[in-house]
Structure 1
């Protein structure tokens, strides 16, 4: 973000983008492009890149819905409707929804979707399961639903996400084979 005298960025990659922006502003595109080449990075990114940030679970110690959140996590692949969740928590739907939002900052449905996306990401990173199976195990039912939810969350399709996080594994495996 460039606001005249104040420039800000978030994250390491954004800091590099900001440095190139300052070089471009002060010394021109040619110098900025040369600096980018020396750093082995693109001279310009459009923005909107997917941010792969882990969001930890809320503190389990304090809440009236903690046991139900644990139940939800243990049953991500099952249909979990609001009435059943409120019953599990032994609360009315209204009270459960209010307390859940107080404890997590999100509605039960939004939190559940986030946890399902998180689980799908984990499966894509650590297994060779097909997209349909990842979708089923994460509770999305179909690959189409998983694609929509994952794209909304991180901006990429499941296979592109897998390639991003598994490429390092393939490089390490190839290096190990080369040494052997």
Structure 2
């Protein structure tokens, strides 16, 4: 999302819009659309056994490439290790 159009709609300068958006939402306008996709992808990784390609498609990324880029930027880990970190460790005898 380019901030010029929403800023125009809100009758604000781009800089003011971006600052106020970040104050309200917690991230800049350009990062917000990806976050809206990362959250459902994260939930699907946590609650399903769907392949990463299907998780990406259902979350709105289209393919797994953007998911593999945005998830580490947000959570610090890629999809497969994130999913593996949710599984309980195997008991050792």
- Range class of TM-score, shorter chain: 0.5 to 0.7
**Partner residue of 2:10 out of 75, 88, 91:** 91
- In structure 2, the CA distance between the partners of 1:103 and 1:155, relative to structure 1 (3 Å rule), is closer
Task: Name the residue aligned to 2:79.
Answer: 158
Q: Segments of 4+ in structure 1 off by > 6 A?
A: none
Task: Name the residue aligned to 1:146.
Answer: 67
Distance 1:152 1:113 in 2: 10
The DSSP-based 3-state class of the residue aligned with 1:108 is: coil
Distance 2:19 2:42 in 1: 28
The alpha carbon displacement at 1:92 in A equals 4.6
| 1:26-175 equivalence runs, <5 A | 81-82=1-2, 86=6, 90-92=9-11, 94=14, 96-165=17-86, 167-168=87-88
Distance 1:82 1:92 in 2: 15
- In structure 2, the CA distance between the partners of 1:96 and 1:138, relative to structure 1 (3 Å rule), is farther
What's the CA shift string for 1:95-140, capped at 9, x where partnerless?
A: 6434312312421122332332222111100112221121122232
Distance 2:26 2:82 in 1: 27
Task: Name the residue aligned to 1:178.
Answer: none
Higher relative contact order (CA 8 A, sep 6+): 2
Aligned Cα RMSD in Å? Answer: 2.9
- In structure 2, the CA distance between the partners of 1:82 and 1:137, relative to structure 1 (3 Å rule), is farther
Q: TM-score, normalised by structure 1?
A: 0.39
Q: TM-score, normalised by structure 2?
A: 0.66
